[in-house]
Amino acid sequence: MSQTERMPRKRTYLMCPPEHFAIEYVINPWMDTGTAVDAGLALRQWHFLHDTLAGLGHRVHVLSAQAGLPDMVYAANGAFSVDGTVYGARFRHPQRAPEALAHQGFYAAGGWTFAEGNHVNEGEGDFAYLPGAYGGLILAGHGFRTDPAAHAEAQEVLGRPVVSLKLVDSCFYHLDTALAALDDRHITYFPGAFSAASQRVLAQLFPDAVIADQADAEAFGLNLVSDGRHVVLNAEATGMGEKVRAAGYQPIHVDLSELKRGGGSVKCAVAELRPRP
């Protein structure tokens, strides 16, 4: 990878503070209602992540948290945007369904072109956009949270080709727990989270990908946010940090131990907003 490809690009993000975060139900293998969340620590960790992104020069919008929606802190799941158009989420589990309306209200207030999803999908949790790959490519996961029909719907709404990838390990229930964009053209992923056919597709499309192992994925090392140079990832993911460093990126570790109790880390807490160029 050339130095140009490792240059950062200013981004715009959306986050939601964990003011009501708690483990009140179980909808993924990482959640345990018997484990108490340290609410104060969760909020301090969230603020550190927010300030880290802002300190890198990125604009960070904040969506107000709502009582009764403990998973709203995972802001990446509420929608997916490309060039000013937003494809809205339709959550798999009823406990999270009202979050979609909160996100819709944010985009409506900002003047975005918004399309409500007719098929079950969980926003950027299962969609990743690479504007510099093949003219602009969307990678989309299915198997646990997002219906395959949503991939075709997203393609029609967003006008970008969508590549469907099947997730096969429930521990990696969203695409963003198993794959991440490192810049506009390059990705990192854990092959074991995908079906054999999807592994072949990824190897063909991204022969120079950074390949993660199971330890990286279990440390939520793939649930990262990158601006093309700075890779912000979970503090436990030291091995993943070394892999991205070897590929020419600068890892920045943040501790999100409390949010991990709910099955998410850096990327789950951060939606990238992609306004019209």
Q: Tokens 């219906």 sit at which residue?
A: 147
How much helix, strand and coil, in percent to the nearest 5, is found in the chain?
A: 35, 20, 45
User: Which among 103, 174, 230, 253 is annotated as catalytic?
Assistant: 174
Check if the beta carbon of residue 26 is closer than 8 Å to that of residue 73: no
Rg from Cα positions in the chain: 17
The sign of the CA dihedral 33, 220, 252, 239 is: positive
Can you tell me the distance from the alpha carbon of 150 to that of 111, in angstroms, rounded to the nearest whole number?
Answer: 23
Tokens of 228: 């093309």
Active site residue 268: yes
Active site residue 174: yes
Check if the beta carbon of residue 179 is closer than 8 Å to that of residue 173: no
Closest CA to 115 of 156, 145, 146, 173: 156
- Give catalytic residue positions: 174, 268
